[in-house]
Amino acid sequence: MNIKHVILRIARTVTALTAAALLPGSVAAQALNAEITKDHPRVKQVMSVQKELTPGLMSMPEILGTAVGQDDDGEITLVVFVNAEASNHGEVMRALPRGIKGVRVSAQLTDRFRAVASKPAGGGKPVPPVSHMAKQTPPIQLGTSGGWGNDFNLTKGYCCGGTLGSLIQVNGVQYILSNYHVFESDIVNGGNGIVATTLDNIIQPGLIDVNCTAASAQNVARLVKVSSLPDNNVDCSVAQVISGMVRADGAILEIGTISVTTAAASINKAVKKSGRTSKLTRSKIIGLNAIINIAYDNECVGGAAFTKTFAGQIVISNSRSSFLAGGDSGSLMVEDVTTNPRAIGLLYAGSSTTAIANPIGEVLTFLGGKLGGTASMVGK
């Protein structure tokens, strides 16, 4: 039978049953300014029609549900949810009447409704959302909040932090990879009386996520100063892992393990990253070979240290900071594939429109030279 005929037949049946229950229009008009709750006269009117109409409509596989809503004109409406996956959803949308006995009908296309925290097949606990800022039980995964254990400025009343982005290895020794400005850019005594030094603690989470109290974090690695800036073309730093504190497979939150091989950047390539602030995000590469001026401070919320002009950088779309935000510095940018993605760049800077990454090959070459071996990503 034709869908339109089915719906009209249901509508006529409802009309006959509910006509006596509907309130006069004048009462509805006076009540419109009252608070819109289930006790509102107009809402009750629509609910009455909904009650009668819904069983018949829900017998149709194309209809997923009904509700009482309010349209853009402020009119209380009967909302009918039409299955967007139904092959004849267009026909159903057109067949639904615009009104039934003075009640406006609003048809809405929707995907199937699903429980948000669903049980995995075979049973099990619902999966909570992943926190990139919380203190993890060791061995920790990367893509998490972390930083230099002394990254604070008492004078200004701030502490700083970033992301422990990924794991590399040189001569069999594993190191957490992040940025120079996350691990070792404190080069003046200034607001905390110290400068970053090799063997300093690298903590997880970073000070910004433990109320600036290092004792509330855990030591996961020891800084190995490589002084990539201002003289080199990479903003990177490393810390040698403390045994047992970091996942030896280099797993990154919401990404998992990555490939040991790396990939070159190309325009339009889909990428993703896992970082402290915006967690797992996706974007695409929009530019190559960038020359960019970036100003660096001499400590957390410190004075100007130097302006570095980088060359050959990767440019990534970052509309409204949706891909990379403050605190994501140090995140590893990988290709957007499901299994063991290859690293492409080390993220370190940006604005509310644009994110910037060092090509990973340059990062690994620099670090290998500093650490006396060949540097590679830890992965599969």
Partner 1 sequence: MKKGCHLRLRLLAIPIGLVCLMVLAGCQRPMNSANSPDSRRDINAVLRDYDRELMAIPDVVGVYVGLLEDGKTPCLKVMAARKTPQLERQVPKSLEGYPVLVEETGVIRPLRQP
Looking at the Cβ atoms of 171 and 307, the one nearer to partner 1 is 307
Taking the least distance from each CB to partner 1, the nearer of 302 and 379 is 302
Site for partner 1 in 268-327 (CB under 8 A): 268, 276-277, 286-296, 300-301, 309, 313, 315, 324-327
Q: Do 66 and 59 form a contact (C-beta atoms < 8 A)?
A: no
Q: Which is nearer to partner 1, 175 or 323 (CB)?
A: 323
User: Closer CB to partner 1, residue 27 or residue 267?
Assistant: 267
How crowded is residue 6: how many other Cβ atoms within 10 Å of its Cβ?
17
Return the half-sphere exposure (C-beta side, CA atoms, 13 A cut-off) of residue 154. 8
Alpha carbon distance 85, 37 (integer Å): 32
Q: Which of 213, 227, 261, 352 binds partner 1 (CB under 8 A)?
A: 352
Residue 218: strand, helix, or coil: strand
Stretch that binds partner 1, among 16-24, 42-50, 118-126, 174-182 (CB under 8 A): 174-182
Count of residues that bind partner 1 according to CB under 8 A = 48
Is residue 266 part of the contact set for partner 1 (CB under 8 A)? no
353 in contact with partner 1 (CB under 8 A): yes
Question: Is position 348 an interface residue for partner 1 (rule: CB under 8 A)?
Answer: yes
Letters for 147-166 (x = contact with partner 1 by CB under 8 A, - = none) are x----------xxxxx----
Binding mask 108-147 for partner 1 (x = CB under 8 A): ---------------------------------------x
Query: Could you tell me the CA-to-CA distances from 316 to 210, 275, 286, 313, 355 in Å, in that order?
Result: 30, 15, 5, 10, 5
Per DSSP, 155 falls in state: T
Tell me the C-alpha distance between 229 and 247, whole Å: 28
Residue with tokens 């200034």: 190
Task: State the number of CA atoms in the 13 A half-sphere of 362 facing the CB.
Answer: 19
Query: Would you tell me how many other CB atoms lie within 10 Å of the CB of residue 94?
Result: 12
- Residues found near partner 1 in the complex (CB under 8 A): 147, 158-162, 179, 181-182, 206, 208, 235, 267-268, 276-277, 286-296, 300-301, 309, 313, 315, 324-330, 347-354, 356
